[in-house]
Amino acid sequence: MKGFHLLKSLATISLGAVLMVGCSSGNTSAPAANEGGAKQEASTDGQEFTAKIGVVGFLSGSGAAYGEAQKAGLELALGELNEANKGKLKMELKFEDSGGKKEGAINAVNKLINQDNVVAIIGPTLSGEMFAAGPVANEAETPIFGISNTSEGINDIGEYVFRNSLPESIAIPTAMKAAVEKNSLKKVALIYASNDDFSVNGYKVMKATAEKMGLEITGEATFSNGDVDFSAQLTKLKQTNPDALLVSALYKEGSMVVKKARELGITGTILGGNGFNNPKVFEIAGPEAEGLIVATPFSPEKQDDKVQAFVKAFEAKYNKKPDQFAAQAYDSLYIMSQSLLAAGKADREELRGQLAQLKDFTGVSGNLSFDEKRNPIGDAVVVVAKEGKFVPFE
Ligand code: 1QQ
C-alpha cells in the first residue's frame, strides 16, 4: 500500500535530543573545581584511579522493575568496563533505593554526595524524582545523569544535570504518527496519572500532538498512581467512541488501564508512553496487552552487532532479554567511563566538563551524537505488543 514506505520512515526517525545538559553554551561560568570532598584516589599520573559513582533507582515498590532493569544494565557494564579499564580506572557503584519517591530521591542524593563522596550520580529513575533531587546535586556541583527521565525541562535544572534518555516529546509523536497513519485514527481519548510528573508530561505531549495532527479529542480522564480501579473513567471514555486510547502512565497502573479497557470492550488502538517499555506490561495486562503501541530508542531485536553482543551478554548473566531501561543504564556507565578516562581523575568538575563535551557516542540504545547545542541525534523505533513481546510496528 501507498502508506507503507511512509510508515516505515515514520517508524524510525532521527531524533534530536537524547543527551542534554542544562546550560545553553560554554562552561566558562562554571565555578572552579569543588575542592570539598570530590577527590577519590584521584590520579593524573597514569596510575589507576578509583571512581565511586552513586546510583539512585526505583528499586522497591510499584515501579521496581524499572530500577531492577537499570541495576542489571549497570552491573553488566561495570564488570565489562572494570575488566577493560584495568590499570587505568576502577569504577565502583553505590546503589540507593528511592522507592520511586521524591523524598527518597532527595535523601539518597544527599547521602551519596555528602557521606559516600561519589564523583557523580546516575538516576534517579523518575522525572519527578529528578525534578526534586536534581537541584540538590546541581547545587552541590555534582554531575547527575538521568537514564530514564523523559520529561521536558530535565536539563533546565542546571549545568550538572545530564541525561541519555529519549524525551517523550520525541518518542510519543513518533508513535502517534505511525499509529494514525497505519490505523487511520481520527478520534482519540486520553487517560493519565495526574500525580506523576512523567505521566502528566506525556499527557501534554499526547494532547499537543493530537491537536497538531488535527485529531478530535473525544474525552479525557485521570487517575492517581496507586489506584487499582479504572472502570468509571474507562466506561466514560468508551461512551465517547474514540478510535484510539492514549495512555500516559507507569507500567503498573498503565497495564491495568490497558487490561480494563479491553475488558470493557474498548477495541480500538491503544498507545502508550515510555512507562510501558518493560516486560511487566505482559505480566500485568496479560493477553490484553496485544496491540499496544509504544516508541522506544532500544529494541533487543535490532540486527546490529553491538546490540546483539549486549543482548547476548545480558541473557547470559540474567537469563532474560534486556529492556530499554537496562540498555540506557548500560550505556550511561560507558559514557561515565569514557568521560572519567578523559578527565584522568575522579573529580566532579572535571567530569562535568567531559560529559558536556561528549561527542559521537555509540551505545546499545542508539548512536548518540551531539550538535553545537548538545542536542544528540538518535533513532526511535515504534513497537507493538505481540504474543507477549514487543515487535516492530510495520
Ligand atoms: C520518566 C519516565 C519513566 C517511565 C521512567 C521509569 O520516563 O519518569 O521520565
Q: What's the whole-number mean pLDDT along residues 260-271?
A: 98
Going from the Cα of 100 to the center of ligand 1, the distance in angstroms, rounded, reads 10
Whether residues 183 and 248 fall in one domain: yes
Position in ligand 1 atom list of the atom nearest CA 197: 8
Residue 375: pLDDT band with limits 50, 70, 90:
very low
Whether residue 362 is predicted with pLDDT greater than 90 in this model: the reply is: no
Does any domain span residue 383?
no
pLDDT of residue 380: 82
Other Cβ atoms within 10 Å of 146 Cβ, number: 29
Q: What's the whole-number mean pLDDT along residues 22-35?
A: 36
Residue 366: pLDDT band with limits 50, 70, 90:
confident
Does any domain span residue 76?
yes
Going from the Cα of 196 to the center of ligand 1, the distance in angstroms, rounded, reads 10
Q: Determine the residue of 18, 127, 325 to mutate for testing ligand 1's pocket, defined as the one with the most ligand atoms within 8 A of the Cβ atom.
A: 127
Q: What's the whole-number mean pLDDT along residues 355-381?
A: 71
Residue 49 belongs to a domain with what CATH number?
3.40.50.2300
Q: Determine the residue of 125, 163, 252 to mutate for testing ligand 1's pocket, defined as the one with the most ligand atoms within 8 A of the Cβ atom.
A: 125
Position in ligand 1 atom list of the atom nearest CA 250: 4
CA distance 339 to 17: 19
Position in ligand 1 atom list of the atom nearest CA 251: 4
Query: What contacts 136, CB < 8 A, 6 or more positions away?
Result: 106, 109, 110, 113
pLDDT of residue 35: 39
3-state secondary structure of 363: strand
**Kind of pairing between the strands at 361-363 and 366-370:** antiparallel
Whether residue 12 is predicted with pLDDT greater than 80 in this model: the reply is: no
Whether residue 20 is predicted with pLDDT greater than 50 in this model: the reply is: no
pLDDT of residue 13: 37
Q: Cell 547521602 identifies what position?
A: 111
Does any domain span residue 385?
no
In the chain, the number of structural domains is 2
Look over the chain and give the mean of its residue pLDDT values, rounded to a whole number.
88
- Residues 136-159 have pLDDT tens digits of 999 999 999 999 999 988 988 999
Minimal-distance CA residue to ligand 1 atom 4: 275
pLDDT of residue 216: 98
Does any domain span residue 146?
yes
**Kind of pairing between the strands at 216-223 and 144-146:** unpaired
Query: What contacts 172, CB < 8 A, 6 or more positions away?
Result: 202, 205, 206, 209, 273, 295
Instruction: Single out the residue of 123, 121, 132, 72 nearest to residue 278, CA to CA.
Output: 72
Domain endpoint, select from 281, 296, 311 = 296
Does residue 264 or residue 6 have the better pLDDT? 264
Position in ligand 1 atom list of the atom nearest CA 165: 7
Position in ligand 1 atom list of the atom nearest CA 201: 9
**Pocket lined around ligand 1, Cβ cut-off 6 Å:** 66, 125-127, 148-151, 198, 250, 274-275
Does residue 21 or residue 100 have the better pLDDT? 100
Whether residues 316 and 255 fall in one domain: no
Q: Determine the residue of 70, 98, 126 to mutate for testing ligand 1's pocket, defined as the one with the most ligand atoms within 8 A of the Cβ atom.
A: 126
- Residues 194-224 have pLDDT tens digits of 999 999 999 999 999 999 999 999 999 999 9
Q: Determine the residue of 71, 147, 150 to mutate for testing ligand 1's pocket, defined as the one with the most ligand atoms within 8 A of the Cβ atom.
A: 150
Whether residue 371 is predicted with pLDDT greater than 50 in this model: the reply is: no
Cell of 198: 512523567
Whether residues 306 and 251 fall in one domain: no
Going from the Cα of 154 to the center of ligand 1, the distance in angstroms, rounded, reads 12
Does any domain span residue 336?
yes
Whether residue 243 is predicted with pLDDT greater than 90 in this model: the reply is: yes
Minimal-distance CA residue to ligand 1 atom 8: 126
Whether residues 156 and 189 fall in one domain: no
Whether residue 100 is predicted with pLDDT greater than 70 in this model: the reply is: yes
Least confident of 10-24, 262-276, 356-370: 10-24
pLDDT of residue 26: 34
Residue 309 φ then ψ, to 5°: -65, -40
Whether residues 242 and 151 fall in one domain: no
Whether residues 198 and 332 fall in one domain: no
3-state secondary structure of 87: coil
Going from the Cα of 149 to the center of ligand 1, the distance in angstroms, rounded, reads 5
Least confident of 40-44, 126-130, 331-335: 40-44
Whether residue 14 is predicted with pLDDT greater than 80 in this model: the reply is: no
Position in ligand 1 atom list of the atom nearest CA 149: 9
Instruction: Single out the residue of 321, 278, 276, 328 nearest to residue 298, CA to CA.
Output: 328
Q: Determine the residue of 18, 154, 250, 332 to mutate for testing ligand 1's pocket, defined as the one with the most ligand atoms within 8 A of the Cβ atom.
A: 250
pLDDT of residue 357: 86
Position in ligand 1 atom list of the atom nearest CA 275: 4
> Prior bond to 124 cis, omega within 30?
yes
Going from the Cα of 147 to the center of ligand 1, the distance in angstroms, rounded, reads 9
Does residue 361 or residue 334 have the better pLDDT? 334
Domain endpoint, select from 296, 323, 340 = 296
Does any domain span residue 4?
no
Q: What's the whole-number mean pLDDT along residues 360-371?
A: 75
Alpha-carbon separation of residue 359 from 5, 28, 265, 333, 342 (angstroms): 31, 19, 49, 15, 12
Residue 377: pLDDT band with limits 50, 70, 90:
low
pLDDT of residue 2: 37
Residue 55 φ then ψ, to 5°: -130, 125
Residue 5: pLDDT band with limits 50, 70, 90:
very low
Residue 263: pLDDT band with limits 50, 70, 90:
very high
Whether residue 359 is predicted with pLDDT greater than 90 in this model: the reply is: no
User: What is the domain range of residue 288?
Assistant: 169-296
Report whether 198 contacts 127 (CB < 8 A): yes
Going from the Cα of 55 to the center of ligand 1, the distance in angstroms, rounded, reads 16
Whether residues 159 and 203 fall in one domain: no
Whether residue 330 is predicted with pLDDT greater than 90 in this model: the reply is: yes
Whether residue 133 is predicted with pLDDT greater than 90 in this model: the reply is: yes
Query: What contacts 253, CB < 8 A, 6 or more positions away?
Result: 62, 193, 223, 225, 226, 227, 230
Whether residues 134 and 197 fall in one domain: no
- Residues 34-88 have pLDDT tens digits of 434 444 555 556 789 999 999 999 999 999 999 999 999 999 999 999 999 999 9
Whether residues 60 and 92 fall in one domain: yes
Going from the Cα of 197 to the center of ligand 1, the distance in angstroms, rounded, reads 9
**Kind of pairing between the strands at 389-392 and 376-386:** antiparallel
DSSP 192-258: EETT-HHHHHHHHHHHHHHHHTT-EEEEEEEE-TT----HHHHHHHHHT--SEEEEE--HHHHHHHH
CA distance 219 to 193: 15
